[in-house]
Amino acid sequence: MDKIKILDKEFRVSLSSSTIQQAVARVASQINADFSGEEVLFISILNGSFMFTADLLKQINLPARISFVKVSSYAGAATSGNVKELIGLNEDISGKNVVIIEDIIDTGITIENIVKQLKAKNPAKLKVASLLFKPEAYLKEMKIDYVGLEIPNLFIVGYGLDYDGYGRNFEDIYVVD
């Protein structure tokens, strides 16, 4: 499909499935090389990262474990209005190599938050892998270790990414038309 309609918006193909899969393969080979001979715990951020996670992990040839977490949609901690809680992390990550798997980094607020919370648990190494990165929207200093594709600051859906909950099921990525 070249064009799709979700709710009130029309979208056209922006990144084909084969372009996405090439990006996934590049990220996997970088992680395989960087952690050669070591073990990695992957932490996948739901919901958006589910497709990227599945495709990426099939190409990881390290001793690997995977845990899925969610970021709460409500503001949590008493001290700061915008600290969002990580839900579902049952593993003790101290002394472990951790790679966070994200679908997309836009302003960077979400990932910075997640990194801060995980760093406090004293992992050995902590890296971030994001399939997509919008450099024009990024507001943070933190370097993203593994980026599949840099994209313009436009709204996209597909391959796990949603518009109001819809559109996650497409194998291609679509941009608003």
DSSP-assigned letters across all residues of 141-163: -PPPSEEEEE--S--EEBTTB-B
Q: Exposed, middle or buried by CB within 10 Å (0-12, 13-18, 19+), for 59?
A: middle
Shortest gap between Cβ of 103 and Mg ion (angstroms)?
Answer: 5
Where in 90-149 is the site for Mg ion (CB under 5 A)? 103
Q: Please pick, among 55, 103, 106, 172, the residue that the annotation labels catalytic.
A: 106
Q: Are 102 and 113 in contact (CB under 8 A)?
A: no
Q: Report phi then psi at 118, rounded to 5.
A: -75, -35
Q: How many residues bind ligand IMP (CB under 6 A)?
A: 14
Rounded CA gap, 154 and 106, in Å? 10
Report the nearest approach of ligand IMP to the CB of residue 3 (Å).
Answer: 17
Q: Confirm or reject binding of residue 117 to ligand IMP (CB under 6 A).
A: no
Of the candidates 15, 23, 48, 172, which one interacts with Mg ion according to CB under 5 A? 48
CA 161 to the chain's CA centroid? 10
Residue nearer to ligand IMP on the CB measure, 63 or 135: 135
Q: Does 110 bind ligand IMP (CB under 6 A)?
A: yes
Identify the CA nearest to 10 among candidates 160, 157, 152, 151.
Answer: 157
Note whether 173 binds ligand IMP by CB under 6 A: no
Residue 145 is among the residues annotated as catalytic for this protein: no
Least CB distance from residue 21 to ligand IMP, whole Å?
A: 19
Shortest reach from residue 90's CB to Mg ion, in Å: 20
**What is the C-alpha separation between 125 and 45, in angstroms, rounded?**
18
**Which residues in this chain contact Mg ion in the complex, by CB under 5 A?**
48, 103
**Which residues in this chain contact ligand IMP in the complex, by CB under 6 A?**
48, 103-111, 155-157, 161
- Any idea which residues carry the catalytic annotation? 106
